[in-house]
Amino acid sequence: MHRRVIRLSIIIDSRVTMDDNDDFNDVTVPYNSQWHVSLNKLIETLNVTEKGQETVKKIVTEYLPTCPINLLEENILRKTCPYLKRIIYELIDEIEANLEDPEIAGHLVPTSFDSQLIECKNLLTRWEDILKHVANLEEVKPSDVVSLLEHFPGIVIKICLHCKEKRSSYPNHSLPLLLQDIYRDTCSNVKIFCGFIYKSLYIQSEDSTLLKNLIKDLGDIASTTTYFVTTMIQSWKTFGKLVWESSAIIKDDGEIRGLVTSNFKNITSNIIWIYENMTHILICPQHLDNFVIYCFFFKHPLDFSYILIMLINNL
């Protein structure tokens, strides 16, 4: 039998893995009033100074590690996450406006947006700091990290969609090297985010609204990271575990059930899109196998004949 080899054009970053055996150390130290006063002074200057990024760096690197979990959302995340998201959105919007301006686009070179991209890369480091800290915690309630769950998925989708949709608008129809680094950093942060959800997030019946948004966000992240198979698979894996562990909540909520069904259909669409459109990188048959197993495991009544044919062709 002729063996068919499928190759996909994807950057695989060895840093982006999901290891269920990762160990984290608890670095939280007791809260004190001077800590609180100093933090409040910093926060007051966050949105009224040109040194906002230096301020958020100080908050995240010096105050976040010593913040008790019961104060994390109110004192740190609620202030820093919206800021980090807003600035990244502004930087990407500025780049896209220049790419779409005919008078500017004709004079662009690969390094034209280095200043914006360096700034964006630094902001992603702050997201990484926040995510790593939260990943150290155990049995985190959604209310403890509302702002993280609300704002982080948006920056992933913003960056990945930009890379996916605007590649041809850049000089030489190629993403600048810095932007490629940003894409990889974003996917690395998704790994931490998924690991946190996978191991630490504790969802109860009263969290149905957050659960609904999280299910939608994981599906959107997976669908915008199809060029990075590892991240896409991690997102779907986390979605699958979240659905399984929250089945008691989902079965009583028609809106969430609709989102779950939509995501299962998107899993199939992602596989088919990869199979049909990306033919220069080897796709591991077990990747397809995992998707099929997840869907059958959750007893979703979808037609997998197309995927099974792909599996047979890759044996």
The pLDDT profile of the chain, 315 residues, written as one tens digit per residue, is 443 333 333 333 333 344 444 443 444 444 457 777 788 888 887 777 677 888 999 999 999 998 889 999 999 999 999 999 999 999 999 999 999 999 998 899 989 999 999 999 999 999 999 999 999 998 899 999 999 999 999 999 999 999 989 999 998 888 999 999 999 999 999 999 999 998 888 888 888 889 999 999 999 998 888 778 788 888 888 888 888 888 888 888 888 888 888 887 787 777 777 766 665 444 444 445 455 544 554 444 444 444 444 444 543
Query: Could you give the 3-state DSSP secondary structure of residue 201?
Result: strand
Partnered with residue 235 across adjacent β-strands are none
Task: Single out the residue of 277, 270, 260 nearest to residue 226, CA to CA.
Answer: 270
- Phi and psi torsions of 204, nearest 5°: -120, 175
Asked if 288 and 311 count as a contact pair (C-beta separation under 8 A), the reply is yes
Backbone angles phi, psi at 18, to 5 degrees: -120, 110
Distance CA 249, CA 272 (A): 30
Return the C-alpha torsion angle 206, 207, 208, 214, nearest 10: 180
Global pTM value: 0.79
